[in-house]
């Protein structure tokens, strides 16, 4: 046996080391019985936009931890900002989380369900002398707050008697005052080094309809006065956030402590950043609203609905999230890592078919006119269990324009006058000539075939170096094919020229539409969203929105690492 010594000892250690820091914290808490053996997480989106791949990291983490440790995970909408939030987003978020493969069971929660409780808690803090109504304007409040290097100044209303604050707070709720005229603020410390702790606003006046509570309220709690208590109400054990909330943790803890309620613990991890794209919902909204993309589900966007439409699978996204891990420092992941995760999944599951993106007509001169034969093609060369299908062959076929050259170096192993090439699953053909149009473009290639080479090998043992794909012209189906490139030209879209903004870095060539592509007849009834590998061209899906029987539309999800590269090295 060649087993390295102590393998069984070290593998247990390795397994522990492979756990990311949040898993390690959960395991420690479980071992110490910190929450009576409970693990309860939540994914807390604000319904002000569509989810993106960054959210997927948080979803996989929160739902993943719950699943791994036999716990629960809530889906909670942090809906405290009625002017930005809509039901459309709530529904889209639910769909995306479900699509990713996660289930919140009966634990669909809304911060807005806690508005009464939050109001009562605000009253409790006023009574305890821990909060006051402040009449400073937004502008003045900012001025009084100070800066990173200078302490703030106390508001002149800070020592207002609790009775007066209670009265004003009730009247704010009753709608007596216009927007922005008063706020409820926590009385903490205007000199705190953490600016978040300088008497933060708890409630603001906002005469706006809420997507769930309608016009019941005209004052709304701030996110910071809502988030920690929502976690407390739901008895969350591990409240997992991105790093930008680290500064807010002391404030969440302060509210919880002053209110004397159940205390979850917050842990922060690094948000996902990806090259050549961006994830701010505000910016994605701008791209959608200004028509730079076709909608939230534009396949070039990093939104989950965009990725889904592009042909991404839930498994690919989950595997990607697993691969990138969870850390405490910010970094940027290269887009190729995400694409690689998709390729790995589709390589396993996508049936192989032929698609000719830019067709060039080829006439096989010695093939009988009117003859059609059915040839057997494998659905997945490495997986015989995925079966075979019949593909028609006839005298006129299409090949890729790029697979023919009038003149070519010796190492171009595709079609060249006088040279022979293998048609995948069919015959050897030899190029005898070509036809050009007035513009000098090759519009037809002439060949002869060797009937002895049916199936792709010659009885005399002669070899050809190149294999190309093809489609019988009369049997093939016309299709629109959409090819995508990065949404931005620069890896960091914020890396702008003087005086320009990130919009200037949009890639003008991020979408290429081919309207004359051809696919094999077996795709006539392809289901919306179905995934295929077009051999040598990449992975494609049937566009779930625009594709119709008789008017097929395919999206290239991701290009291929050409598996036939070894026979084409000279390219
Ligand atoms: P954005 O900055 O894109 O507008 P957000 O943080 O405002 O996003 P929320 O709806 O508040 O969006 O996010 C819900 C959860 O998803 C939060 O816990 C947030 O930390 C997490 N999240 C958001 N963006 C990322 C990201 N890029 N990587 C990991 N987690 C993220
Ligand atoms: Mg946010």
Does residue 138 fall inside a structural domain?
Answer: no
CA of 46 to the centre of ligand 2 (A): 7
Please state the atom number of ligand 1 nearest to the C-alpha of residue 48.
Answer: 10
Same domain for 314 and 377, yes or no, is: no
Identify the active-site residue in 153, 271, 430, 490.
Answer: 271
Task: Give the CATH number for residue 493.
Answer: 2.40.240.10
Beta bridge partners of 355: 519
Among protein residues, the one with the nearest Cα to ligand 1's atom 2 is: 280
Beta bridge partners of 556: 540
Same domain for 363 and 499, yes or no, is: yes
Is the distance from CB of 70 to CB of 253 less than 8 angstroms?
no
Task: Give the CATH number for residue 274.
Answer: 3.40.50.620
Cβ contacts of residue 361 below 8 Å, gap of 6+?
396, 397, 398, 443, 444, 445, 473
Same domain for 439 and 365, yes or no, is: yes
Rounded Cα–Cα distance for residues 57 and 317 (Å): 9
CA distances 222 to 122, 163, 211, 455, Å, are 11, 22, 16, 70
Does residue 174 fall inside a structural domain?
Answer: no
CA of 291 to the centre of ligand 1 (A): 24
CA 363 from chain centre, in angstroms, equals: 44
Same domain for 282 and 364, yes or no, is: no
Same domain for 518 and 497, yes or no, is: yes
Is the distance from CB of 544 to CB of 516 less than 8 angstroms?
no
Q: What is the pLDDT of residues 269-303, one digit of tens each?
A: 999 999 999 999 999 999 999 999 999 999 999 99
Q: Residue 44: nearest ligand to its CA?
A: 1
Place of tokens 């505000």: 282
Same domain for 537 and 391, yes or no, is: yes
Which residue, 349, 381, 407, sits at the end of a domain? 349
- Ligand 1 pocket check for 344: Cβ under 6 Å: no
Same domain for 439 and 315, yes or no, is: no
Residue 341 phi, psi dihedral angles, 5° rounding? -65, -35
- Ligand 1 pocket check for 302: Cβ under 6 Å: no
Provide the 8-state DSSP code for 48.
S
Note if 548 is an active site residue.
no
> What does the pLDDT read at residue 180?
96
Among protein residues, the one with the nearest Cα to ligand 1's atom 14 is: 45
- Ligand 1 pocket check for 303: Cβ under 6 Å: no
> What does the pLDDT read at residue 16?
62
Same domain for 340 and 406, yes or no, is: no
CA distances 508 to 245, 300, 502, Å, are 36, 12, 13
- Ligand 1 pocket check for 58: Cβ under 6 Å: yes
Other C-beta atoms closer than 10 Å to the C-beta of 378 total 16
Tell me which of 242, 247, 285, 333 to substitute to probe ligand 1's pocket, judged by most ligand atoms within 8 Å of the beta carbon: 242
Tell me which of 58, 94, 296, 317 to substitute to probe ligand 1's pocket, judged by most ligand atoms within 8 Å of the beta carbon: 58
Tell me what the pLDDT averaged over the chain comes to.
Answer: 95
Note if 46 is an active site residue.
yes
Tokens representing 353 are: 């078919």
CA of 430 to the centre of ligand 1 (A): 58
Does residue 515 fall inside a structural domain?
Answer: yes
Does residue 27 fall inside a structural domain?
Answer: yes
Note if 490 is an active site residue.
no
> What does the pLDDT read at residue 12?
56
Which residue, 289, 321, 349, sits at the end of a domain? 349
CA of 447 to the centre of ligand 1 (A): 58
Does residue 229 fall inside a structural domain?
Answer: no
Same domain for 449 and 505, yes or no, is: yes
- Ligand 1 pocket check for 284: Cβ under 6 Å: no
Rounded Cα–Cα distance for residues 190 and 143 (Å): 12
> What does the pLDDT read at residue 17?
65
Does residue 514 fall inside a structural domain?
Answer: yes
484: enclosing H helix or E strand: strand 477-484
Does residue 481 fall inside a structural domain?
Answer: yes
Q: Residue 78: nearest ligand to its CA?
A: 1
Total number of domains constituting the chain: 2
Q: What is the pLDDT of residues 151-187, one digit of tens each?
A: 999 999 999 999 999 999 999 999 999 999 999 999 9
Same domain for 403 and 457, yes or no, is: yes
Identify the active-site residue in 281, 309, 343, 424.
Answer: 281
Which residue positions in the chain have pLDDT lower than 70? 1-17, 562-571
Q: Read off the pTM.
A: 0.93
Same domain for 310 and 430, yes or no, is: no
Give residue 340's domain range.
Answer: 20-106+270-349
Which residue, 349, 370, 404, sits at the end of a domain? 349
Place of tokens 């000719």: 356
Does residue 216 fall inside a structural domain?
Answer: no
Tokens representing 10 are: 């070290």
- Ligand 1 pocket check for 45: Cβ under 6 Å: yes
> What does the pLDDT read at residue 561?
78
> What does the pLDDT read at residue 113?
98
Is the distance from CB of 553 to CB of 542 less than 8 angstroms?
yes
Q: Residue ranges of the alpha helices (H) in 329-433?
A: 335-349
> What does the pLDDT read at residue 13?
58
Same domain for 445 and 532, yes or no, is: yes
Q: What is the pLDDT of residues 203-260, one digit of tens each?
A: 999 999 999 999 999 999 999 999 999 999 999 999 999 999 999 999 999 999 999 9
């Amino acid at each position: 046996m060649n087993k390295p010594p102590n393998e069984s000892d070290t593998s247990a250690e390795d397994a522990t080391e492979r756990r990311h820091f949040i898993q390690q914290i959960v395991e420690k808490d479980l071992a110490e019985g910190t929450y009576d053996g409970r693990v309860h997480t939540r994914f807390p989106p604000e319904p002000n936009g569509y989810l993106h791949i960054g959210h997927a990291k948080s979803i996989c983490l929160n739902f993943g931890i719950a699943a791994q440790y036999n716990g629960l995970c809530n889906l909670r909408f942090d809906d405290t900002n009625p002017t930005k939030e809509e039901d459309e987003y709530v529904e889209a978020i639910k769909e995306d989380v479900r699509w990713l493969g996660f289930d919140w069971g009966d634990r669909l929660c809304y911060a807005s369900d806690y508005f009464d409780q939050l109001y009562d808690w605000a009253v409790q803090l006023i009574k305890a002398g821990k909060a006051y109504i402040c009449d400073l304007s937004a502008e003045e409040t900012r001025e009084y707050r100070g800066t990173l290097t200078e302490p703030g100044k106390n508001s002149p209303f800070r020592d207002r008697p609790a009775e007066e604050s209670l009265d004003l707070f009730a009247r704010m709720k009753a709608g007596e005052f216009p927007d922005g005229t008063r706020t409820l603020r926590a009385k903490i410390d205007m000199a705190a080094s953490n600016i978040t702790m300088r008497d933060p606003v708890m409630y603001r006046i906002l005469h706006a309809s809420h997507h769930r509570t309608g016009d019941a309220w005209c004052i709304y709690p701030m996110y910071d006065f809502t988030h920690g208590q929502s976690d407390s109400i739901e008895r969350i054990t591990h409240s997992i956030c991105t790093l930008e909330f680290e500064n807010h943790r002391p404030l969440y803890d302060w509210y919880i402590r002053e209110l004397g309620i159940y205390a979850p613990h917050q842990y922060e991890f690094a948000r996902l950043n990806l090259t050549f794209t961006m994830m701010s919902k505000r910016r994605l909204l701008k791209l959608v609203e200004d028509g730079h993309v076709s909608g939230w589900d534009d396949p070039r966007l990093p939104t989950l609905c965009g990725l889904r439409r592009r042909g991404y699978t839930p498994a690919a996204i989950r595997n990607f999230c697993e691969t990138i891990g969870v850390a405490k420092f910010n970094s940027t992941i290269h887009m190729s890592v995400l694409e690689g995760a998709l390729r790995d999944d589709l390589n396993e599951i996508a049936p192989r078919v032929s698609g000719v993106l830019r067709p060039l007509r080829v006439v096989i001169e010695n093939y009988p006119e009117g003859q059609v034969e059915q040839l057997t093609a494998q659905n997945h060369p490495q997986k015989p269990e995925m079966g075979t299908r019949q593909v028609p062959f006839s005298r006129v076929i299409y090949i890729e324009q790029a697979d023919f050259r009038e003149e070519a170096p010796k190492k171009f192993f595709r079609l060249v006058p006088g040279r022979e090439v293998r048609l995948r699953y069919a015959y050897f053909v030899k190029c005898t000539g070509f036809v050009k149009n007035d513009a000098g473009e090759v519009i037809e290639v002439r060949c002869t075939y060797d009937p002895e080479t049916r199936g792709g090998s010659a009885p005399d043992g002669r070899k050809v170096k190149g294999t190309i794909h093809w489609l019988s012209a009369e049997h093939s189906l016309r299709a629109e094919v959409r090819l995508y490139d990065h949404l931005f030209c620069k890896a960091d879209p914020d890396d702008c020229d003087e005086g320009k903004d990130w919009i200037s870095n949009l890639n003008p060539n991020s979408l290429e539409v081919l309207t004359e592509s051809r696919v094999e007849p077996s795709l006539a009834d392809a289901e919306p969203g179905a995934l295929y590998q077009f051999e040598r061209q990449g992975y494609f899906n049937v566009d779930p929105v625009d594709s119709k029987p008789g008017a097929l539309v395919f999206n290239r999800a991701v290009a291929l690492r050409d598996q036939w590269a070894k026979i084409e090295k000279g390219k």
